[in-house]
Chains A and B, each alone.
Chain A
Amino acid sequence: DAGVTQSPTHLIKTRGQQVTLRCSPKSGHDTVSWYQQALGQGPQFIFQYYEEEERQRGNFPDRFSGHQFPNYSSELNVNALLLGDSALYLCASSKEGAEQFFGPGTRLTVL
């Protein structure tokens, strides 16, 4: 049973560029949440997708957007990248309740 998968593993971009990160949820899960984890910090909630809609959003600017596809996979898009966007981006999937299972993350470096 495959767990949560994310791609790419690492990514290097320059300021002002745009990036798309991808996530496939654990089998049987229908909800995907995205988190940003800065070095030495706990993950910060970006948003959650359920039934192809953004159900909840954290305190992140509109430069951060997402999408969920009919097969429950999801994308995170970040426009106009800033140096401060450098972080580990984590995707978590769940079925019901709060038991969110995390993928390995995408390490984004903005130069």
Chain B
Amino acid sequence: GQQLNQSPQSMFIQEGEDVSMNCTSSSIFNTWLWYKQDPGEGPVLLIALYKAGELTSNGRLTAQFGITRKDSFLNISASIPSDVGIYFCAGQPPLGAGSYQLTFGKGTKLSVIP
């Protein structure tokens, strides 16, 4: 099935550092979502974006909906050990066929070194 291009695949950072990851698609999306998944758990919704150019924050997390509607970025500031996990981007296309499903990236695995 289709997947988004998410990068980097993995990253190791020092506690306190800022983190950036991004997601790109060949198709336009109406909505971008960012999830975090811990081992053995389901994905937890972090941020939802609904408008091109939109910048939204949730605590230390900030995400942006790209102007082209084909990309999105997630930044984590001042990382802490509990930020460890796999971060997924997900997109939903415009209304019409396929508009109900979320298409996911392969994830960015984040490791934080204390």
Cβ-neighbour of B41 out of A33, A55, A99, A104 (below 8 A):
A104
Q: Does A58 contact B (CB under 8 A)?
A: yes
Interface residues of B in 72-92 (CB under 8 A from A): 88, 90, 92
Of the candidate stretches A11-19, A38-46, A66-74, A77-85, the one touching chain B is A38-46
Beta-carbon contact of B1 and A105 below 8 Å: no
Beta-carbon contact of A105 and B42 below 8 Å: yes
Collect the chain A residues with CB atoms within 8 Å of residue B4's CB.
42
Cβ-neighbour of B42 out of A48, A56, A90 (below 8 A):
A90
Report the interface size for chain B: residues with CB under 8 A from the other chain: 29
Complex Cα–Cα for A17 and B64 (A):
45
Report the interface size for chain A: residues with CB under 8 A from the other chain: 27
Beta-carbon contact of A42 and B42 below 8 Å: no
**If the complex has contacts A42-B3, A45-B1, A58-B1, are A102 and B44 also in contact, measured as CB distance less than 8 A?**
yes
Q: Does A25 contact B (CB under 8 A)?
A: no
Beta-carbon contact of B48 and A98 below 8 Å: yes
User: How many CB-defined contacts (below 8 Å) exist between A and B?
Assistant: 72
B1, B3, B33 — which one has the most chain A CB atoms within 10 A of its CB?
B1
A10 CB, min distance to chain B CBs, angstroms: 10
Q: Does B66 contact A (CB under 8 A)?
A: no
Collect the chain B residues with CB atoms within 8 Å of residue A101's CB.
45
Q: Which residues of B contact A (CB under 8 A)?
A: 1, 3-4, 6, 30-31, 33, 35, 40-45, 48, 50, 88, 90, 92, 98-107
Q: Which residues of A contact B (CB under 8 A)?
A: 4, 6, 33, 35, 40-45, 48, 55-56, 58-59, 90, 92, 97-105, 107
15 extra interface residue pairs, beta carbon distance < 8 Å, beyond A44-B1, A92-B42? A4-B42, A41-B106, A42-B107, A43-B104, A45-B102, A45-B103, A55-B100, A56-B98, A56-B99, A58-B101, A97-B31, A99-B33, A99-B45, A101-B45, A102-B43
